[in-house]
């Protein structure tokens, strides 16, 4: 027995005896990453984050739920349902010959015909949930895209050139940031009523108004990072080689600000969905009879709906909660994966 122990001790590497296990794992991972491209490293780090992967799957499902499932669902968001007075059968709006003897199927419970029941207007809740998701997701993605374009361009120019250019851009940011959002949105809503903008097109003007007020944080983040990066050694080398300033900004500086921009954008996605929900709840967003998750939650204003028909407002509230959490999880995962200082 003693001889076997001595042989095992001799076979063991002295470094293995005194090297912490976690450090050895990090060394192994670093050695594997030597043979991986930067994109592969980012993907590996991202998919090692369980919460980020969970958030990604939730977002994929919600996009399928909002954009693909309605193609196979027989009802639309505006279709009305009725209940026949004598038979109690639920009728669709196009059955005009039977509607005369029917009542509006208002606040009906879940059934095989209406899986999530109907709302106070007799519309199918599941169909409105799907189409409402389209509006909420499209608003958030469109606003973030416009904010990124404005913020990256203005922030990059301000950070690189500095001086009077930086001062002008930052003062514009201060003016925009100090503009009260909700009063301005109410003014925009009143103008849309005066101009007879259709309820379906109101959302486009709402997106423009939100984007014009939401880009300042992106601009400040890009400017701050570029002020730090423009004095680095690789930028001094880029200037010495005669690279044009516009290429220095958009090909060397801005790509190095991506981790901060990605995190801020994903966090803003959740915030914009909440903002759209609040605006629709206040009647500023998408107009009736078209659906968004925000104006679906608006039905909680009714005491009857809040107490006796929770399926009308709980389901859109859960969708908002899940999507906002998913965007936050994905944003944290992307931040960790794109951070060059992260070891794992």
* pTM of this structure: 0.74
Q: Domains of the chain by range and CATH? A: 80-122 (no CATH), 125-338 (1.10.3720.10)
SS3 (DSSP) at 35:
coil
Question: Token pair for residue 191?
Answer: 């103008």
CB 291 within 8 A of CB 77: yes
Cα angle for residues 336, 157, 272 (degrees, 5° grid): 50
> Binning pLDDT at 50, 70 and 90, where does residue 57 land?
very high
Q: Is the dihedral of CA 134, 140, 142, 143 positive or negative?
A: positive
CB 245 within 8 A of CB 325: no
Residues 77, 83, 87, 92: what is their CA dihedral angle, to the nearest 10 degrees? -30
Cα–Cα distances in angstroms (integers) from residue 40 to residues 20, 174, 228, 243, 266, in the given order = 27, 40, 27, 29, 21
Which phi and psi (to 5°) does residue 230 adopt?
Answer: -70, -20
Residue with tokens 């900004």: 249
- Per-residue pLDDT of 12-46, as tens digits, reads 454 454 445 555 555 555 555 556 666 777 778 88
Between 258 and 143, name the one with better pLDDT.
143
Lowest mean pLDDT across 169-178, 200-209, 313-322: 200-209
Query: Which whole number is the average pLDDT over 64-72?
Result: 90
């Amino acid at each position: 027995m003693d001889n076997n122990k001595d042989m095992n001790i001799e076979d063991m590497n002295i470094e293995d005896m005194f090297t912490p296990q976690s450090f050895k794992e990090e060394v192994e991972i670093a050695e594997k990453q030597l043979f991986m491209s930067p994109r592969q490293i980012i993907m590996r780090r991202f998919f090692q984050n369980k919460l980020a992967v969970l958030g990604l799957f939730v977002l994929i499902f919600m996009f399928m739920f909002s954009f693909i499932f309605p193609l196979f669902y027989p009802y639309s968001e505006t279709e009305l349902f009725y209940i026949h007075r004598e038979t109690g059968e639920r009728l669709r709006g196009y059955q005009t010959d039977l509607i005369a003897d029917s009542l509006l199927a208002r606040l009906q419970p879940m059934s095989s015909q209406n899986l999530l029941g109907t709302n106070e207007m007799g519309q199918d809740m599941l169909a409105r949930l799907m189409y409402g998701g389209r509006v909420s997701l499209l608003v958030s993605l469109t606003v973030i895209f416009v904010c990124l374009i404005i913020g990256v361009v203005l922030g990059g120019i301000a950070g690189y050139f500095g001086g009077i250019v930086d001062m002008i851009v930052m003062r514009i940011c201060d003016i925009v940031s100090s503009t009260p959002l909700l009063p301005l949105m109410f003014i925009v809503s009143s103008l849309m009523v005066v101009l007879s903008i259709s309820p379906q097109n109101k959302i486009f003007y709402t997106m423009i108004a939100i984007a014009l007020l939401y880009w300042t944080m992106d601009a400040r983040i890009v400017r701050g990072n570029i002020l730090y990066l423009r004095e680095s050694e690789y930028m001094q080398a880029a200037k010495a080689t005669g690279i044009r300033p516009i290429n220095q900004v958009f090909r060397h500086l801005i790509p190095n600000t991506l981790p901060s921009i990605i995190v801020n954008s994903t966090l803003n996605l959740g915030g914009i969905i909440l903002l759209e929900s609040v605006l629709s709840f206040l009647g500023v967003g998408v107009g009736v009879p078209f659906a968004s998750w925000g104006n679906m939650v608006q039905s909680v204003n009714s005491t009857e709906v809040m107490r006796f028909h929770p399926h009308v407002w709980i389901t859109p509230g859960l969708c908002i909660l899940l999507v906002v959490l998913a965007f936050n999880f994905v944003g944290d995962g992307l931040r960790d994966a794109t951070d060059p200082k992260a070891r794992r």
